[in-house]
Structure 1
Amino acid sequence: MSYVAPTPVVRRPWWQRLLRNPWFWVLFALVLISAACLIHTYVVVHADTEIEQNGQKGVIPGITNQSLKLGLHYAWPTAAVWSAIFICVDRFRTRHLHVWFLCFCWGACVATWVSMHLNTWMAGMLSVAGGVDPASGAGPAVYSAPFVEESCKAFVLFALAVATGRRMTSVVQTVSAAGLSAIGFAFVENIMYYARADNYARVTASAGDPKQALMELVLLRGVYTSFGHPLFTSMTGIGLALGLRSRSRLVRIFAPTTGFVMAVVGHMLFNGFSSVLPMQALKKLWFVALGVVASVVVFIVIRTVREGKMIRHRLGDYVKAGWLPASDADTLSALRRRQWATLVAVSQGPRRWWRTLEFLRVGTDLAYLRDAVVRGLDDDPGPRQIQLINRMNVLRPMAVTVARGAKLSKPRLPNILRRRRNRPVNHELQWAPPQA
């Protein structure tokens, strides 16, 4: 069968496309805002704090640069591992570097800055007396901090849903974005917790060995309970995706709300049990928490398998109509074939790899658009469908589109490093043809 012939597309220079891309300005503004938030957070935690207790005034020293560097040293491995996990979760969406960066940067910089000030304000409203951080008491940790922190982390999810419209309808996509926002938040929070513990142990003689106290906290927050923030925010992401994929207005309202409430309640229970229960009871509850994490993992795996079947069926509609070859549905619907096509493209050069990623992304967007049409979520998809099909056909000669039977290319040296071989010269006389 024949498919739609590609229409000629005149592409502007890369810098013009970059300046015309709204994502560039969104990320540019986010970088500036994030830098301002990080600088102000550093000023707040680094400055000395004056306190007055029982009529006596005192000064609590701020966190030193040495402690902050040590906190960063122990916090980044946890953030790197969990970020890689959540990026791998959304394997059906390729070349979404800007979304991944947006979510992580929001959680690490903006969400932590906003929650720090809101937690302090709400702790003051609850009239809680504490140490340096008024939000460090048991009351704010249970009643105010979960609501504030989950609201700040989930804000970027709802903003993306409003900005991208129907394109953000996959559960694995929203879970990936939610997890990156949460792990960014936990990354900066762990830095401050580790630095505060090290700083306190250094200035307090009764605290014992500073390194031992810090390592206990690193194992607790960076290993044993590192799944906390991603787990809670993922519940909001699951509820948001289920609401976006539903035609019922009632489900669209209650599904995200239920997911957010579950995230807040789970966060409250986590903080509450950690504050009041002994260590032996917490060890038993830790296995219960692992069971919840395993349930979420199984749910995401099932949704990933269903996403692949959905892509095959929706692209199959275009194959039956003769608009796409059957190899597109076969390649784009299976993760292992998508990964093999990407690996083959890498062996053929960076340009082919980049075009292959774009081809996979455009084909996935087309499948989700067709699914929205079938579900009745999109009323006028005609121009968008034609645009995506034409783009796939333009990319087809420049990308690896057939995974079955594709073989890796042998590595080639750059032209500069290649040796010029002397070609044999033909010394025979070459007679020109007679002119008419």
Structure 2
Amino acid sequence: MPESATIRRPWWMRLLRNPWAWIVLAMILLSVGLLYAQYLQLHADVEVERDGRKGVIPGITMRSFTLAAHYAWPTAAVWSLVFIWLDRFRTQHMAMWFTAFAWGAAVATSISLVVNTWMAGMLSVQGGYDPSGGAGPAIYSAPFVEETCKVTVLFLFAVFMRNRLTSMLQTVSLAGLSAIGFAFVENIIYYARADNYARITVQAGDPTQAVRQLVLLRGVLTSFGHPLFTSMAGIGLAIGLRSRSRLVRILAPVTGFLGAVIGHMAFNGISSVVPSKDLKVYWFVALGIVASLVIFLIVRLLREGSMVRNRLADYVVMGWLEPRDPTVVGSLARRWWITVVATSHGFATWWATLAFLRTATELAYLRDAVTRGTADATQDREVALVDRLRDLRPVAITESKGARPVAPHLPGWWPWRRGRAGRMPAFAPPGPGSRPAVSWVPPRP
């Protein structure tokens, strides 16, 4: 066998050798264990004593948790799709998205639940079994604890996978997914508490109405809170990773984290202190901040496309890429179209097209790092990426101009195909003097 020939291992062997498979498995097991521990803590009855009288606060029932999850998942799904869509150029794979979401949903909430309760006890907050529900911990301790827990997964990615975090859109996407996971579990806890309290307290009124009011407040009107705060830390981390200055590499992530904490602190403080009838003005101010962040990220998205085109143009000049590659890879509309066309050609073509776009984008970001002076000795990596593009080109859809989807290939047992085949005219050999329908290129000598 020639030395250049490679043996392609079976899919299960490649899966076992992939470290992300084990990371995802570990995150699943860890998430299940931590969420079950939270359930046991919140489900257990708690003995309390007030004014010398002892009593028992019933734990949250599984019925309340089930109802709360039913109301909480739409918010998490919508925001998750938004942040996944934001990561359009150097798209991360599903394992990183899942890890960020699971970290926020299980690890961050579990640590925050323990630390916030402990901090509330240290602050001697009165008010029953859940001392973390007071205004003091919500303003002074919870923002630091929760933002630290949510952002930790970003810094772990930056430490162990620095070469993959090269775009602000990536860090904001991962930060948003971690925040959405945190908000998802937190909303379940809040909705379940409201439902459970309304069911055991006659004065609370209709349990369904109480939960729906809370869903409108937390799941709709203020659902941008956690993603907004943690995105600030993601922006600071991206600035630090792409800077040559050692001082900026330290100060930018710290500044982003402090911005997240201060924003979270202001949000909790206003919600806890300001009367409900006066919150509308602050809500519109918060919407203005969210709109500013959205505009900023859209501008960054357009600039990322321009950067990809400019950096890939360097390889066109060197003769390593085709002239149309920068135009296709640097345009979101063209990337989307060739992906749709590749889908109609089958799984192999679709997968090769995605790999081609991801590899070309990685090559552009690698070139950008070289021009910024944040990476050196990249020749071997550049050659490997160019060779990878050359191998994918015959299989992938790499040109958007003139690309059209093809009709699906139906199996032989499909009724419509059998009927269509029965109506096709029979083949008849060409008569004398007639020209063949297809002309074949003669073989090379």
TM-score, normalised to structure 2, is: 0.91
- Give the whole-Å Cα distance in 2 for the aligned partners of 1:319 and 1:10: 32
- Give the whole-Å Cα distance in 1 for the aligned partners of 2:51 and 2:354: 64
- Give the whole-Å Cα distance in 2 for the aligned partners of 1:415 and 1:15: 30
Q: CA deviation at 1:55?
A: 2.5
Query: 373, 397, 410: which is aligned to 2:407?
Result: 410
Query: 343, 348, 360: which is aligned to 1:351?
Result: 348
- Give the whole-Å Cα distance in 1 for the aligned partners of 2:391 and 2:74: 41
Q: Deviations over 1:206-241 (max 9, x none)?
A: 112212211111100000000000000000000000
Q: How does 1:270-419 map to 2 (within 5 A)?
A: 270-417=267-414, 418-419=417-418
Q: How does 1:152-167 map to 2 (within 5 A)?
A: 152-167=149-164
Q: CA deviation at 1:28?
A: 1.3
Find out whether 1:174 has 2:176 as its counterpart: no
- Give the whole-Å Cα distance in 1 for the aligned partners of 2:126 and 2:93: 45
Determine helix, strand or coil for the equivalent of 1:58: strand
Find out whether 1:241 has 2:264 as its counterpart: no
Give 5+ residue unaligned stretches, structure 2.
430-445
- Give the whole-Å Cα distance in 1 for the aligned partners of 2:324 and 2:390: 13
Q: CA deviation at 1:254?
A: 0.5
Determine helix, strand or coil for the equivalent of 2:54: strand
Find out whether 1:147 has 2:162 as its counterpart: no
Determine helix, strand or coil for the equivalent of 2:403: coil
Find out whether 1:32 has 2:29 as its counterpart: yes
Question: Match for residue 119 of structure 1?
Answer: 116
Q: CA deviation at 1:403?
A: 1.2
- Give the whole-Å Cα distance in 1 for the aligned partners of 2:91 and 2:173: 12
Question: Match for residue 73 of structure 1?
Answer: 70
- Whether the 8 Å CA contact 2:175–2:231 is kept in 1: the answer is yes
Q: CA deviation at 1:416?
A: 4.5
Q: CA deviation at 1:266?
A: 0.4
Give 5+ residue unaligned stretches, structure 1.
1-6, 427-436
- Give the whole-Å Cα distance in 2 for the aligned partners of 1:336 and 1:105: 31
Question: Match for residue 224 of structure 2?
Answer: 227
User: Which letter does structure 1 place at the counterpart of 2:380?
Assistant: P
| Higher RCO by CA contacts (8 Å cutoff, separation 6 or greater) | 1
Runs of 4 or more above 6 Å deviation: 420-426
- Give the whole-Å Cα distance in 2 for the aligned partners of 1:424 and 1:372: 60
Q: CA deviation at 1:414?
A: 2.6
Q: CA deviation at 1:425?
A: 10
- Whether the 8 Å CA contact 2:103–2:181 is kept in 1: the answer is yes
Q: How does 1:196-235 map to 2 (within 5 A)?
A: 196-235=193-232
Q: How does 1:37-52 map to 2 (within 5 A)?
A: 37-52=34-49
Find out whether 1:188 has 2:185 as its counterpart: yes
- Give the whole-Å Cα distance in 1 for the aligned partners of 2:53 and 2:163: 59
- Whether the 8 Å CA contact 1:94–1:358 is kept in 2: the answer is no
Question: Match for residue 108 of structure 1?
Answer: 105
Q: CA deviation at 1:131?
A: 2.4
Q: CA deviation at 1:129?
A: 2.0
Q: Deviations over 1:355-376 (max 9, x none)?
A: 1111111111111111111111
Question: Match for residue 259 of structure 2?
Answer: 262
- Whether the 8 Å CA contact 1:236–1:260 is kept in 2: the answer is yes
- Give the whole-Å Cα distance in 1 for the aligned partners of 2:413 and 2:5: 33
- Give the whole-Å Cα distance in 1 for the aligned partners of 2:377 and 2:6: 23
- Whether the 8 Å CA contact 2:91–2:170 is kept in 1: the answer is no
- Give the whole-Å Cα distance in 1 for the aligned partners of 2:78 and 2:182: 14
Q: Deviations over 1:83-107 (max 9, x none)?
A: 1111111111336111111111111
The alignment's C-alpha RMSD in Å is 1.6
- Whether the 8 Å CA contact 2:68–2:187 is kept in 1: the answer is yes
User: Which letter does structure 2 place at the counterpart of 1:268?
Assistant: M
User: Which letter does structure 1 place at the counterpart of 2:363?
Assistant: L
Q: CA deviation at 1:424?
A: 6.4
**Percent sequence identity over matched residues?**
61
- Give the whole-Å Cα distance in 2 for the aligned partners of 1:350 and 1:344: 11
Determine helix, strand or coil for the equivalent of 1:398: coil
Q: Deviations over 1:352-401 (max 9, x none)?
A: 11111111111111111111111111111111111111111111111111
- Closer, same or farther: CA 351–205 of 1 in aligned 2, 3 Å: same
- Give the whole-Å Cα distance in 2 for the aligned partners of 1:80 and 1:71: 15
Q: CA deviation at 1:280?
A: 2.6
Q: CA deviation at 1:9?
A: 4.9
- Whether the 8 Å CA contact 1:94–1:360 is kept in 2: the answer is no
User: Which letter does structure 2 place at the counterpart of 1:169?
Assistant: T
- Give the whole-Å Cα distance in 2 for the aligned partners of 1:278 and 1:405: 60
Q: CA deviation at 1:166?
A: 2.6
- Whether the 8 Å CA contact 1:198–1:211 is kept in 2: the answer is yes
User: Which letter does structure 2 place at the counterpart of 1:291?
Assistant: G
Determine helix, strand or coil for the equivalent of 1:94: coil
Q: How does 1:84-95 map to 2 (within 5 A)?
A: 84-94=81-91
User: Which letter does structure 2 place at the counterpart of 1:344?
Assistant: V
- Give the whole-Å Cα distance in 2 for the aligned partners of 1:212 and 1:95: 40
- Whether the 8 Å CA contact 1:48–1:61 is kept in 2: the answer is yes
User: Which letter does structure 1 place at the counterpart of 2:19?
Assistant: P
Q: Deviations over 1:72-92 (max 9, x none)?
A: 111011011111111111111
- Whether the 8 Å CA contact 2:48–2:56 is kept in 1: the answer is yes
- Closer, same or farther: CA 340–425 of 1 in aligned 2, 3 Å: closer
Determine helix, strand or coil for the equivalent of 2:47: strand
